Chains A and B, each alone.
Chain A
């Protein structure tokens, strides 16, 4: 019997799980994908927003402004790279200056610290590559950049280290309220049947469905897709801060930002779609974001795109987060409709959910042995020559470079597989080590990473997948030599 089952292993579910792991509770996370952070939490703008955007008085505004400062300590504890680059909203003509003032005013109402209006000279000094059309900007010093899946993985690992259980490849298909009026449920997936007192619904764009399965409040979350292009690191220095445009009638505009790893990210657009799994990109969409981004930063080279991707906003009906105890089903707590700035708000959302659970009758006794810290991850490419030498002498597997673009070693990949909640597939290794994220996108390293996965997980190579499920990478062995009369088909499983 669990105290809490968290449905969904995105940044929201993992933040909540980690927050609950501070207390003497039995908690698990149930996730339909093969890893945490495979939904919207891996495909967004990766920005820790300052908080001037959201309407004053909304939950979004409150949790954004509460969440932002928490990142300093959180990222230190979890050994997650985070950088407060600051952000700017640029006015591309004189008329838009009034919009900046309105945003500044909204920020003041939301109690956002460190907001300043910059004139053209100050703006140029801050962003030398900004468009000549840019006349002024609103600068927000507390905004920052982070890798959203590194954060999600780190939260999950730390929750796990503090006793939270995780179930993967486990799509919740049925929820039975066992005793009407009392918090008591059965949560069913194809292979699991979990009994719990409370359910936290953190199923992202599918949270409306979970509420429906549990017989809870009815609401519909509209999937609104945002597409991105990620550009080569040689474009990364074109932007120093996160560059937004003034929101227009046409939409919020496309942003340009450096990523924490030094690439340049451009996007997103915003289009409502029907299919809640459709994270495909479109030719028109990519053209739209490139054109949009060029308005603020004309000089980037779109040909330097190394990959493109899309994420789905879970747009709630009233455009505010739905974080509350269900009005019909006792023990069902929603953390739903968490569109942007959900990443930023995540630590504050987790605290709020814990308070709601406590108010609903869950006894939260702090655990004395809670360890907020996650052991740091070794990054070979970040080390000095001397440190690298020492490391390879201690463990020679750090002397074999597997990913040439991002300089990732075999040692790092082995560690990513062996860590708590370690990688189980190619994408899991990629998100934990960056192997395959560089400009060749895995062309060079994927056969080598597959070999290490097969060896570590004791799987035949043909069972190694890209992202779990049926995402196999090899269809089978080639014909035996006698069948083709050709050499080369060795088939011995070792690469």
Chain B
């Protein structure tokens, strides 16, 4: 048996940031556990640039961004076990892991940070009918093959889904000499970043077809083509008569990411059915005392800068808990996704322990132009607007933020007694809707 103050599971940007932040906050006995052969997480396969614009004010590649945090971990002498898979985390913070060198490991921690990232949705999850040949591959797996192993998955490619990974891979495969015939998107808008649509598709003349999907896969051994069709935007069902056959030797799926929470579920941590990640408070604490989480394991991010920030909060909170273990204060505010909003993270705020400023992260459920965003607190006495903001454009593909100051929150709370339920709602009310009550 080994014992650590803090064990961080996953050495992607979230885990690396959490470990460094906890160290800076005074906890020295830290172990990072990573199942891959190197730290850095998904960044190691993202050899394109666009990382760190906010955190460092620089335009870095994924591995460059990761390298800065790996260096910080190394400088501090924080222990890291690579090629090590965590198999189980218990609510009383035992960690079971395995690797070739140490065999089975049973580790006791005072606190745990979960930073396992996310995985890709697959064909089965989106019900693409047809045959089951080789050559149907998720975009992230293709990215690993191309960027880390040096192999091209195919030469004539159709991409389903306009998420960022799909867009990035459209450009990458084109540069590698493959013909990317088209990118299909079920929705009338892309879930990827605008800059990626411009730089990865438009610059290369790759068509992006909105309201389109793949309705069948063909080929017995290797994929030979797909039938695509236009969908009715209202029902999302294919329109009869619009089907057409497109030949290809590869279908790349970029149809979304799902937070990787098998370990969280086993540990009995409450998960949010919308984000599919743990329910967290403003300090990234999960529902199990002493277990924290940050990054893509909590909700899927577009930008690594935000992942790092969440990891740092989780690391600092874990350190505070280790140095002074006590349960969270009882006064709490639940956050709520109101009209036009899909989810809000954190799901819970503890005003008595919150930092001076809190970032609410959320996504909208449709494209909004020139709409007002409203953050309101509901107390026993009624509604109080904490802030409104007009935004030129909000799209589901780009995570939105709203900063809440501690003093403003307390001002809104007033003389609130902690027994009545408190709710902070983020919404994009329809024009003319009365949101002052």
Q: Which residues of A contact B (CB under 8 A)?
A: 230, 277-283, 285-286, 303, 305-309, 385, 388-389, 392-393, 396-397, 399-401, 404-405, 407, 426, 440-441, 443-444, 446-447, 461-462, 465-479, 484, 486-492, 495
Please judge, given known A-B contacts A479-B176, A488-B47, A492-B150, whether A407 and B103 are in contact too, CB under 8 Å: no
Residue contact A385 to B104, C-beta cutoff 8 Å: yes
Residue contact B222 to A472, C-beta cutoff 8 Å: yes
Closest to B98 in A: A399
A312 CB, min distance to chain B CBs, angstroms: 13
Q: Which of B120, B132, B221 contacts A470 (CB 8 A)?
A: B221
Residue contact B129 to A478, C-beta cutoff 8 Å: no
Residue contact B130 to A280, C-beta cutoff 8 Å: yes
In the complex, what distance in Å separates the CA atom of A388 from the CA atom of B149? 31
Residue contact B138 to A443, C-beta cutoff 8 Å: yes
Residue contact B134 to A441, C-beta cutoff 8 Å: no
Closest to A283 in B: B129
In the complex, what distance in Å separates the CA atom of A307 from the CA atom of B146? 26
A409 CB, min distance to chain B CBs, angstroms: 8
Please judge, given known A-B contacts A305-B124, A469-B221, whether A478 and B151 are in contact too, CB under 8 Å: yes
Interface residues on B, range: 35 or more
B118 CB, min distance to chain A CBs, angstroms: 11
Residue contact B150 to A443, C-beta cutoff 8 Å: no
Residue contact B119 to A474, C-beta cutoff 8 Å: no
Contacts of B155 in A (CB 8 A): 475
In the complex, what distance in Å separates the CA atom of A306 from the CA atom of B126? 9
Cβ-based interface call for B55 (8 A): no
Residue contact B127 to A308, C-beta cutoff 8 Å: yes
Contacts of A277 in B (CB 8 A): 220
10 sample A-B contacts, Cβ–Cβ < 8 Å, listed by A number: A285-B129, A400-B100, A401-B87, A426-B134, A440-B120, A443-B119, A447-B145, A447-B149, A462-B151, A490-B150
Contacts of A477 in B (CB 8 A): 150-152
Residue contact B100 to A397, C-beta cutoff 8 Å: yes
Cβ-based interface call for B215 (8 A): yes
Given A385-B96, A473-B153, 10 more A-B residue pairs with CB atoms under 8 Å apart are: A303-B125, A388-B98, A399-B101, A440-B119, A443-B122, A443-B138, A447-B141, A470-B221, A477-B150, A479-B176
Cβ-based interface call for B144 (8 A): yes
Closest to A492 in B: B150
In the complex, what distance in Å separates the CA atom of A305 from the CA atom of B87? 24
Contacts of B144 in A (CB 8 A): 447
In the complex, what distance in Å separates the CA atom of A45 from the CA atom of B148? 40
A334 CB, min distance to chain B CBs, angstroms: 27
Which chain B residues numbered 122 to 169 have a C-beta less than 8 Å away from chain A? Answer: 122-125, 127, 129-135, 138, 140-141, 144-155
Contacts of A309 in B (CB 8 A): 132
A264 CB, min distance to chain B CBs, angstroms: 13
In the complex, what distance in Å separates the CA atom of A476 from the CA atom of B101? 34
Please judge, given known A-B contacts A441-B123, A443-B122, A492-B150, whether A399 and B145 are in contact too, CB under 8 Å: no
In the complex, what distance in Å separates the CA atom of A198 from the CA atom of B103? 53
Residue contact A474 to B130, C-beta cutoff 8 Å: no
| Residue among B119, B125, B147 with the highest chain A CB neighbour number at 10 A | B125
